[in-house]
Structure 1
Amino acid sequence: MLAVLRSINCHFSKMSSYYKLIPIKLGCIVLGIDLKTENRPEVIKQIKEDVTKHRILVFKNQGIVSGERHVEISEWFGELESTFYKHPKSPHPDVFRVSNDRTEGCTGVGRTGWHIDGSFQPAPFGYSLYHMVSVPKKGATVFAPLTDIIEQLPKQKYDEWNRLWMISDRRTGPVHPLIYKHPRSGKEVLCFHLGMTTAFLYDYNTTNERIATPEEFERILSDIHHEFVKDNGKIQYKHEWEDGDFIISDNLAVGHEASPDSQIPRSEVGLRVLHRTTIKGVEAPSK
């Protein structure tokens, strides 16, 4: 990673030279900020703007960020949506602790398919904040830019997706448009969870709605998955975790999933422990 950093020209924010952004495949690496102590309003304001602009910010060399401090950083972005799954070793009630060892955290998380967090909520989570407190030899998290995927769709497929509404987790709702405009950037994004979506509703100019048939449903799920993995996953950004990494992501702008390696047993790759918080959404997706 250090070799990569040396080979890329640093981009400086307008603020001052201590805040440095280094573009990567998706998002930016941030240098010059210590999240454990940072509280300057102008820096927080810049970070919030840059998360919307770049979609993912990777803060390097942060050491171990406590659960309490993780929550304090999260509150820069709004009200936390407390995790639905509690683990006895979580450092804070609002911190979701996941692992490849069930005695250390919840297992199997993020492996049900490409998704955004909170698609089952009336308003999906606005941000997700990740911190790997125990880094295994393998266990990446993979991200993909939703707007880019939409913009590359063939017209016929775009037209179909643009009239689809998805129902996540249960058929009683909520119902969200598959394609809608991001509430902050105004760009088209996706509201979806390939492992939790239970139905797609076709909307023909709101005059002839129907639930997709089982065959259509499976094809649509397969079509969405294909757009993330085609060309050997060329559009993906695979984040290989290093000690001290802390990621702030615009959850509405990027899809993600845990790599298959994330569940390799501790005995083979070492202990993987990831802490995650999510920020309550403030605006329901709409056309």
Structure 2
Amino acid sequence: MAEVIKTKFYEMTPIKLGVEVRGLDLSQEVLPVVIEQIKKDVTEHRIMVFKNQSKISGHRHVEISSWFGELESTFYKHPRSPHPDVFRVSNNASEGCTGVGRTGWHIDGSFQESPFAYSLYYMENIPKDGPTTFAPLNEVITGLSPEKLARWERLCMCSDRRGNRHHPLIYSHPRSGKKVLCFHLGMTEAFIWDKDTEDDRLTDWRETVELIKEIHHEFVKDNGAIQYSHKWEKGDFIISDNQAVGHEASPQTQYPVAEVGLRILHRTTIKGTETPVKKYKVEATEQ
């Protein structure tokens, strides 16, 4: 059984990726000193699953999100969303946006000048099945063969949105300094080899597809051993370091309501503050 980590303000229990947090009700006022502790802990643990929460309204969801910076909302505004900055997704189109997160492993906001710094999730209505699956990006990189790492270090990804914005595939996390990935396997138009050198070259469609498959393999190899599948329970509220973990919605998230029940997930995203650069502040190590 995992050892409980006690702070002055709440208790944390390590899980496969991140920690479960108990003893703090986010629906109530949270002191600034506690907020600072949460910021520190989410950088260290990457995912914080706050358990047994009271109902989190759309307004309160946005208030909690604002602790981490400026909200950045780039999504379709579903008419049933409880707040303009809350992205409402569902397995029923009349209740929320459908098909979200099902185009491949990714981080949120890879098409922005800087990817979103944090993503915050609250399951408004919990289905019988429909986990959200996460994976630690630094461990993906440290698990690469030397040859594959050298290949990936040469790549920039070009998003299929915002004028083909491009970022290094591997870059330095702005807070931890560890090597992470800027990627979206369902929103990549192409890759650039050896950008800003004499060997600078854009991939064609076939080469792009092969590289996407190569990256996908690292997330699913060994029967997905690196993945953490979060099975939602009533009262779960997740704060994730978006630039430290990749994620993908499981197929069950889009199963019919008649089969799994209604799924309604609320998500907010926080604007990133640093453009990804190929400058590693510290050596990548296991987390």
Partner of 1:4: none
Secondary structure of 1:238's aligned partner: strand
Deviation, structure 1 residue 204: 6.4
C-alpha distance in structure 2 between counterparts of 1:85 and 1:107, whole Å = 11
Pairwise CA distance, 1:8: 3.0
Tell me the secondary structure at the aligned position of residue 29 of structure 1: strand
CA contact (8 A) 1:183 1:283 kept: yes
CA contact (8 A) 2:173 2:179 kept: yes
SS in 1 for 2:164: coil
Q: Is the contact made by 1:83 and 1:95 (CA closer than 8 Å) also made in structure 2?
A: no
Match of 2:136 in 1: 145
Shift in Å, 1:172: 3.1
2: CA distance, partners of 1:28 / 1:97: 25
The within-5 A match list for 1:164-243 is 164-170=155-161, 172-203=163-194, 206-243=197-234
1:141 and 1:38 mapped to 2: Cα distance?
A: 28
Point out where structure 1 has 5 or more consecutive residues left out of the alignment: 1-6
Choose which of 35, 47, 61 in structure 2 pairs with 1:56. Answer: 47
> Secondary structure, in 3 states, of the residue corresponding to 1:231?
helix
Deviations 1:1-35 (A, max 9, x none): xxxxxx4321112xx1x410100000000011100
1:263 matches 2:254? yes
Q: Which residue of 2 aligns with 1:115?
A: 106
Structure 2 contact 164–189 (Cα < 8 Å) conserved: no
Residue correspondence of structure 1 range 47-86 to structure 2 within 5 A: 47-86=38-77
Q: Distance in 2 between matches of 1:142 and 1:63?
A: 24
Deviations 1:122-155 (A, max 9, x none): 1110000000010000010000000000001001
Q: Which runs of 5+ in 2 are unaligned?
A: 279-287
Residue 265 of structure 1, CA deviation: 0.7
1:59 Cα deviation from its structure 2 partner? 0.3
Corresponding residue SS for 1:97: strand
Q: Which amino acid aligns with 2:144?
A: L
1:31 counterpart = 2:7: no
Contact 1:140 1:262 in 2 (8 A): yes
Count of residues in Structure 1 that have an aligned counterpart in Structure 2: 278
What is the CA-CA distance between 1:82 and the residue it aligns to?
1.7
Aligned-residue CA RMSD (Å): 1.2
Distance 2:169 2:139 in 1: 15
Q: Secondary structure of the equivalent of 1:132? A: strand
Partner of 1:130: 121
Q: 1:207 Cα shift?
A: 2.4
Shift of 1:168: 0.6
- Cα distance, 1:88 vs structure 2: 0.7
**Which has the larger displacement, 117-126 or 33-42?**
33-42
Residue of structure 2 in register with 1:9 after alignment: 3
> Matched residue of 2:222: which SS?
helix
CA distance in structure 2 between the aligned counterparts of 1:267 and 1:226, rounded to whole angstroms: 33
- TM-score scaled by length of structure 2: 0.95
Partner Cα distance (2:2, 2:117) in 1: 30
Alignment correspondent of 1:41: 32
Identity of aligned residues (%): 65
- Aligned-residue offset at 1:212: 1.3
Question: 1:98 and 2:84 equivalent?
Answer: no
Report deviation, 1:42.
1.1
Distance 1:71 1:171 in 2: 25
Contact 1:83 1:277 in 2 (8 A): no
The offset of 1:286, in angstroms, is 1.0
Shift of 1:169: 1.6
TM-score, reference length from structure 1 = 0.95
* Paired residue secondary structure (1:129): strand
Q: Post-superposition shift, 1:84?
A: 1.9
In the TM superposition, what is the alpha-carbon distance from 1:63 to its structure 2 partner? 2.7
